[in-house]
Amino acid sequence: MTDKVVVLVTCGTRDEAGRIAKHLVERKLAACVNVLDARVRSTYRWKGKVETAEEILLLIKSSKKLLPAVRAEVERLHSYEVPEVIALPIADGSPAYLAWLAECLFPPAPAQKARKGR
């Protein structure tokens, strides 16, 4: 198991999705955000009624320790009263990709220190 997560967030518009994605990557809260531009149809219960909406899905790659900051920023920037913010653990992955992901997040993962011989 890694300390990395994929966070799912749905947005009402492409503009909102792009703005949130860029903000998270610029602030190093996410290494990468995929914006699934094909609209997804969501059916959900809201205030006692069953609703249907077309949304844009974000796949945000981050870490568990940054999840509270990711959630706070999404909630601050999002137009929904209750935005979806669901984190799924990344059990394993390509070592090179996971290392890149760690390097892109704030603060960067500490580098392994070489042992000094005596």
The pLDDT assigned to 112 comes to: 43
- Which of residues 113 and 81 earns the better pLDDT score? 81
97 pLDDT exceeds 80?
yes
DSSP secondary structure string, 69-116?
HHHHHHHHH-SSSS---EEEE-----HHHHHHHHHHSSSPPPPPPPPP
Residue 113 lies in a domain: no
**Strand pairing class (49-63; 32-46):** antiparallel
The pLDDT assigned to 109 comes to: 46
pLDDT in tens, 57-77: 999 999 999 999 999 999 999
Residues 54 and 27: their CA atoms lie apart, in Å, by 28
Domain count, the chain: 1
Residue 30 lies in a domain: yes
Cis peptide before 107 (omega within 30 of 0): yes
Residue 20 lies in a domain: yes
pLDDT in tens, 8-44: 999 999 999 999 999 999 999 999 999 998 879 999 9
Kindly report the CATH number assigned to the domain that includes residue 40: 3.30.70.120
Q: Provide the whole-model pTM.
A: 0.88
Residue 109 lies in a domain: no
Residue 111 lies in a domain: no
Neighbours of 74 (CB within 10 A): 22
Domain with 29, as residue range(s), is 4-104
